[in-house]
Amino acid sequence: MNTSHHRSIVPLLASAIVLAGLASCKDDKSSAAANKGGKGAGRGPVSLEAVVAAPTSLEIVARVPGNLWGARKVELKTETGGRVAQIAFREGAFVKEGQLLLRLADEDLVASVAKARARARMAESTFDRKRQTQAADAISRQDLDGAETELASARADLALAQALLRRSRVVAPFSGTVGIRSVEVGQTVATGQTVAQLSQQDPWRITFSVPEDQAGLAKVGQPLTFRVAGSRDSFPAKVVALDPVLDEATRTRRLVAESRAKSPSLFPGQMVDIALELAREEGIAIPSEALSFDAKGPFAWVYRDGKSVQARLVTGLRTVDRVQARSGLAKGDTVLIVGAANLRPNGEVKIARIRSAK
């Protein structure tokens, strides 16, 4: 290599080194600006929605289907066979407890009762006469005992005849509404044949189930409302019984409620829509997206002086979209809706929008 060529390369190398140094300085300044969050920074403050904490009422309401039944329902059946002589009820009518509903042909049974009653009266008269005679020592104690035995036997025969007569009749075991009959006058029926159904509709009985996560909140005495399909009318009821165990197949708990509602739109067997308020508390509630967790438990991010600050929470009631903060937040705190954002304590935050509290 000649000397002149060597001298021309040296200035070029020197120029390249100077340019590289200037670029490096520029990159260092840009990095510093980014770290300070200044103009031209690669990452500025996190922009989030927020909600202002305010006292509110948080309630958990179970909205589930149910079934409407009468308080009691039985199938009226004959206790013996025979020919239907009388049907003493009108289908769909209200009947009183003890009212005669059906009578089988009972002429022979009525005669048996009359005969047994006459014999019982005769035995009673004989016993009274002999008891008076025995008091005067005119008859023996053995004769008096025989008369007493005869009286007891006659009374037993009368009771049997009366029982057989009662079995030939069907009476209402309680007051209620009788359904459609399944027998006719003149028809010969067998023992245990169904005559009709009897339903007591005061009070109404409502059966339904609540899911496992709400089962522990259900209590006897809780009020509820129900309505039937196609009707805007809402009727009150009250929980009267709880199943002590969960259904393993459905993971639900069965409840029973009663209602004194009276309406022509209600009848046994209907499906109803139920709204049961399981819990209600006054306090501060925040959106579910504002709740975060770490190894220490639940917390929320609060906006203070442009920074994100952790607020440890003790949570309470929860709904689908809100959670109650029993402690950790105060009225007026600006709670950040974090969502998927990755915040750090004392990180820079901007409020993009204040969400209205619901």
Per cent of the chain over pLDDT 90 is 54
Whether residue 265 sits in one domain with residue 320: no
* φ and ψ of 266, to 5 deg: -100, 135
Q: What is the pTM of this model?
A: 0.59
Which residues span the domain enclosing 263?
Answer: 62-70+199-281
Contact between 46 and 344 under an 8 Å Cβ cutoff? The reply is no
- The Cα diameter of the chain in Å comes to 176
Residue 13 pLDDT > 70: no
pLDDT in tens, 83-114: 999 999 999 899 999 999 999 999 999 999 99
* φ and ψ of 291, to 5 deg: -90, 130
* Domain assignment of residue 41, yes or no: no
- Rounded to an integer, the average pLDDT of 283-303 is 91
Whether residue 241 sits in one domain with residue 181: no
Rounded distance between C-alpha atoms, residue 29 and residue 138, angstroms: 142
Number of H helices, E strands in the chain: 4, 20
Winning range, highest mean pLDDT, from 70-74, 253-257, 344-348: 253-257
| 237: CATH | 2.40.30.170
Whole-number average pLDDT of the chain: 85
Residue 3 pLDDT > 70: no
Whether residue 203 sits in one domain with residue 191: no
Whether residue 190 sits in one domain with residue 204: no
Nearest residue to 198 (alpha-carbon basis) of 80, 71, 106, 26: 71
Whether residue 232 sits in one domain with residue 183: no
Whether residue 255 sits in one domain with residue 286: no
Nearest residue to 352 (alpha-carbon basis) of 303, 296, 312: 303
Q: Which of 180-184, 308-312, 341-345 shows the lowest mean pLDDT across its residues?
A: 341-345
What pLDDT score was predicted for residue 39?
38
What pLDDT score was predicted for residue 249?
92
- Rounded to an integer, the average pLDDT of 24-49 is 52
pLDDT in tens, 124-173: 999 888 888 877 666 778 888 888 999 999 999 999 999 999 999 999 99
Q: Which of 136-140, 194-198, 243-247, 276-280 shows the lowest mean pLDDT across its residues?
A: 136-140
> Per the structure, how many domains does the chain have?
4
Q: Which of 281, 303, 327 is the last residue of a domain?
A: 281
What pLDDT score was predicted for residue 358?
61
| 296: CATH | 2.40.420.20
* Domain assignment of residue 133, yes or no: yes
